[in-house]
Amino acid sequence: MTNDADKPNQHQKITLTICNKLGLHARASAKLAACTSAFDCDISLDKEGVAINGKSILGIMMLAAAKGTELTITVDGHDAAAALNAIQQLVENRFGEDE
Amino acid sequence: MVGIIIIAHGDLAQALHHAVEHVLGKQRQMEFINVAADSDPVALQHQLDRCIDQCDGGNGVILCADMFGGTPCNVALGRLDPEKIDILSGISLPSLITIASERSQIADPTALARKGAASGRRYLCMASTMLKPGA
């Protein structure tokens, strides 16, 4: 059996475009923070040089990221790849919103 | 998990409770008390005691009041207990979201109230300066 914590650290970065109508509003930020908080790795979100902790609902909201905003997501840790995949799915699925 | 009771003037407590659930989803161990101009302080104390009984799951409760010195906060002050009840006054939606979202990890009402206070200060900001870093 492999202990996840023994896996080597991964450092990955991706740029995603917010595509839901309301952007990173309160409920979307709460969903994103719930998603990121499920992982051990460090996660930061960067908008135009302003970086915040990707596990903080209120931090995410401070980005004021409207539809069309490009965010660079940086992940560091043994479960970084899985975290990045989950974040990408959530953003591309418009946080479960219709539009 | 620490319980949360919001107590405030007019309909604010109910509105804040509704807003927290709007953002974070349905909350357990969380109640509100609206304080009207004609509310009887003794009746409010009894209502607060019932809410404390409902919300305290063993880790204590934070009483969240809107304004220090107002009747809602004064009613809450009567239940301050260093062992299990702390009071945070001047609450805002950011402070409540911090408390509600972190209470599963922080089991001490005072430590949690401290985080809520820090969040309330940090996220009270002017857009004109916030959107211009360094301004």
Catalytic residues of A: 25
Q: pTM of the entire structure? A: 0.88
pLDDT of B5 strictly over 80: yes
In the β-sheet with B61-65, what is the strand arrangement from edge to edge? B30-35, B3-9, B61-65, B85-89
The answer to the question of residue A37 being in a domain is yes
The verdict on residue A1 lying in a domain is no
Candidates A27, A50, A58; nearest CB to B119: A58
Ordered by where they begin, the domains of chain B are 3-130 (3.40.50.510)
Question: How many whole angstroms separate alpha carbon A87 and alpha carbon B9?
Answer: 40
Distance between CA atoms of residues B43 and B49, nearest Å: 10
- B119 chain-A contacts, CB cut-off 8 A: 58
Residue of A nearest to B95 (CA): A58
Residue length of chain A: 99
Q: Do B22 and A64 touch (CB under 8 A)?
A: no
Nearest CA in chain A to B24: A30
The predicted structure's pLDDT at residue A8: 77
In a domain, A45, yes or no: yes
Say how many domains are in chain A.
1
Which structure tokens are listed for A22? 């309301």
Question: Would you say residue A3 has pLDDT above 90?
Answer: no
In a domain, A43, yes or no: yes
The tens digit of pLDDT for each residue in A34-62 reads: 999 999 999 999 999 999 999 999 999 99
Domain extent at residue A17:
11-96
Q: Specify the pLDDT at position A99.
A: 87
The CATH number for A75's domain is 3.30.1340.10
Q: Which of A27, A29, A57 to mutate to test the interface with B (most CBs of B within 10 A)?
A: A57
**Per-residue pLDDT at B13:** 98
Contact predicate A36/A43, CB 8 Å: yes
